[in-house]
Structure 1
Amino acid sequence: MTGDRTGLVRAWQCQSLLLGYPDEAFFARLDLLDAAAAGLDDRVGAPLRRFVAHVRDTPPGELAADYVATFDQRRRCCLFLTYYAHGDTRNRGMALLRLKQTYASAGLNLVGHELPDHLAVVLEFAAAAPDQGRALLIAHRAGLELLRLALHDADSPWADVLDSVSATLPPLVGDQRQAVARLAAEGPPAEQVGLAPYASPDHLPQPQGAPR
């Protein structure tokens, strides 16, 4: 799968949409996403199909509450990738700015209020600009792996989506394994300054349609 460009683009688009907040648009796309996942390599597609099956078997309100409890209330399950490397420090603000510049250089501009390091946004970018997007995902490999492990520890259905993301990337090696171990042991830096104009994960707008 790591060498199948068409399959990678399809996988990253599916993963991006399945990591979105489960609103009406999310459920409206479910049949299409299930069909797209069925055409992927089994290592990438099977976890997505398991997640879709879970979604179909779960009442929408329960799924939405689980999404908020998982991603908005657990720091270890943060979907904002620069948080793992930089925490709430001024370095994170610069990392967010660099991401926006990377998107703009590829001719893509963010719309709405989502931060550029949200995993769904990065995956959508990867689907639109595969070479640059793959490089971004690999650059954040340690954070992605920590998120994947945290979701498994929480017995979260979204662990399947992260398993699928991981299957599109090269295996962890050397320094990446050490980075994961360090993040797991120490967590991200904790300096609480310098994020303007960006908010920390604790102060982000609620996802559209999320309960308040």
Structure 2
Amino acid sequence: MKQSLQTAFSCSSFLLSYPELGWREALTELLEEIEAIEQDDVKASLATFIKQALNKTNDQLIDSYVYTFDFGKKTNMYLTYMNTGEQRERGIELLELKQHYKKSGFEVTDKELPDYLPLLLEFFANANEQDSEPIMSKYKENIQALHVQLKEAGSMYKPILAAVLLAIDTWGVQTN
């Protein structure tokens, strides 16, 4: 079951990445990959998003992504920003998260901040349970808050966050 959920996290990470050249073309393959996910509700949520995305042009996908995540203060994917904004405490939290990744053997570059949701999901997809569960627990409420904001905005990305939350719940993680 956990491996199936890790597949869901990996697919969600990809789906939340910037839709650069080749991204849309990979969706058909991803639709096949999600068939390996055992949890029907998680699979259905991801399939919903993929089918919506396949009906959009590359330009529409880029516009939607930028409008939602780059210009939306309440819908950005930097999870610690929700707690502290640009306060000094955020830097400490980012450092602790980066150190947790390193201790877990998960290598990150300086390309993205460690609280970037697609990076966090990639960590969940690759880390062992004892390393990923405390982070899932710590940021579950932030992911829920982002999901609420996406729902209120009528965003096409809400099924991905629904799938992530269903996967976290199925994993058995409670919030801190």
TM exceeding 0.5: yes
Question: Relative to structure 2, which stretch is displaced further, 27-36 or 98-107?
Answer: 27-36
Q: Which residue of 2 aligns with 1:77?
A: 75
| Inter-partner Cα distance in structure 1 for 2:31 and 2:128 | 22
User: What SS does the aligned partner of 1:100 have?
Assistant: helix
Per the TM alignment, residue 120 of structure 1 is displaced from its structure 2 partner at its CA by 0.1
Q: Which residue of 2 aligns with 1:206?
A: none
Answer whether contact 2:151 2:158 (CA < 8 A) is retained.
yes
Q: Which residue of 1 aligns with 2:12?
A: 15
Q: Choose which of 126, 136, 155 in structure 2 pairs with 1:128.
A: 126
| Inter-partner Cα distance in structure 1 for 2:104 and 2:150 | 31
Taking structure 1 as the reference length, what is the TM-score of the superposition? 0.76
Q: Over the residues paired in the alignment, what is the CA RMSD in angstroms?
A: 1.8
Answer whether contact 2:106 2:127 (CA < 8 A) is retained.
no
| Inter-partner Cα distance in structure 2 for 1:26 and 1:106 | 29
| Inter-partner Cα distance in structure 1 for 2:11 and 2:98 | 22
Structure 1 residue 145 corresponds to structure 2 residue 135: no
Unaligned ranges ≥5, structure 2 = none
Where does structure 1 differ by over 4 angstroms across 4 or more consecutive aligned residues? none
The total of aligned residue pairs comes to 171
Identity of aligned residues (%): 30
Unaligned ranges ≥5, structure 1 = 180-212
| Inter-partner Cα distance in structure 1 for 2:13 and 2:118 | 4
Q: Which residue of 2 aligns with 1:116?
A: 114
| Inter-partner Cα distance in structure 2 for 1:123 and 1:36 | 16
Answer whether contact 1:51 1:158 (CA < 8 A) is retained.
yes
Question: Relative to structure 2, which stretch is displaced further, 159-168 or 99-108?
Answer: 99-108
Taking structure 2 as the reference length, what is the TM-score of the superposition? 0.91
Which of these two proteins has the greater Rg computed from alpha carbons?
1
Answer whether contact 1:100 1:109 (CA < 8 A) is retained.
no
Q: Which residue of 1 aligns with 2:91?
A: 93
Name whichever structure is richer in helix by fraction.
Answer: 2
Q: Which amino acid aligns with 1:32?
A: E
Per the TM alignment, residue 23 of structure 1 is displaced from its structure 2 partner at its CA by 0.8
Q: Which amino acid aligns with 2:82?
A: Y
Per the TM alignment, residue 112 of structure 1 is displaced from its structure 2 partner at its CA by 5.1
Per the TM alignment, residue 80 of structure 1 is displaced from its structure 2 partner at its CA by 0.5
